[in-house]
């Protein structure tokens, strides 16, 4: 699958609602590390806050968020279908990540070794200025942080996030990270 940017998945009202609800919940982990890689790698994500709905073992941690995420996957699949692009719809992993201002916590990585999984990165922060950085890179291609938009790509593709600068005026760079597979 060629990497796709899908705009306006979430309305402004839905973005503000979702951002407010997920950022005020007390279920965030603040000392996070990524799951152990299922392939040879000496890198693990560390240092950010994470709100897990479903871990990589497909264990549901937060059922209401999991249900919401699965409906988002179906919504994204329907939007892509109109563009004659197929995407898997079985949710395999889902978590929100908050990137602190000026945090050097991103590194180049892939989510899965095999290309039969797809990753969806949804930009959740409802207010974001281009000068705040926070873009997302997949296989060398840059996608600017656009509230309510998603980048869909093969999970085996190498990608990384860009750390935001300090002048984000208290808006956290929040993304929803999902991995999907065929049923």
From first to last of its 183 residues, what are the pLDDT tens digits of the chain?
Answer: 899 999 999 999 999 999 999 999 988 987 555 454 454 445 555 557 889 999 989 999 999 999 999 999 999 999 999 999 999 999 999 999 988 776 556 678 888 887 789 999 999 999 999 889 889 999 989 999 999 999 999 999 998 888 888 777 788 889 999 999 987
Instruction: Provide the pLDDT for residue 45.
Output: 52
* Angstrom distances, CA of residue 132 to CA of 86, 125, 128, 151: 32, 12, 7, 19
Identify the pLDDT of residue 43. 52
pTM for the full predicted model: 0.89
Give me 142's structure tokens: 């840059």
Alpha helices in the chain (DSSP H): 12-24, 63-81
C-alpha dihedral, 45 to 61 to 72 to 56, nearest 10°: 40
First to last CA, the chain: 17
**SS3 of residue 130 by DSSP:** helix
């Amino acid at each position: 699958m060629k990497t796709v940017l899908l705009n306006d998945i979430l309305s402004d009202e839905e973005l503000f609602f979702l951002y407010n609800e997920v950022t005020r919940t007390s279920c965030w982990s603040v000392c996070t590390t990524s799951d152990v890689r299922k392939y040879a790698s000496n890198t693990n994500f560390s240092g950010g806050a994470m709100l897990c709905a479903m871990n990589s073992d497909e264990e549901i941690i937060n059922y209401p968020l999991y249900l919401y995420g699965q409906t988002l996957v179906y919504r994204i699949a329907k939007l892509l279908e109109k563009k004659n692009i197929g995407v898997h719809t079985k949710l395999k992993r889902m978590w929100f990540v908050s990137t602190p201002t000026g945090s050097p916590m991103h590194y180049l990585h892939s989510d899965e070794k095999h290309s039969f999984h797809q990753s969806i990165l949804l930009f959740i922060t409802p207010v974001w200025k281009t000068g705040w950085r926070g873009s997302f890179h997949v296989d060398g291609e840059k996608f600017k942080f656009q509230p309510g938009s998603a980048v869909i790509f093969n999970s085996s593709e190498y990608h990384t996030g860009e750390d935001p600068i300090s002048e984000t005026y208290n808006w956290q760079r929040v993304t929803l990270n999902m991995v999907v597979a065929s049923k």
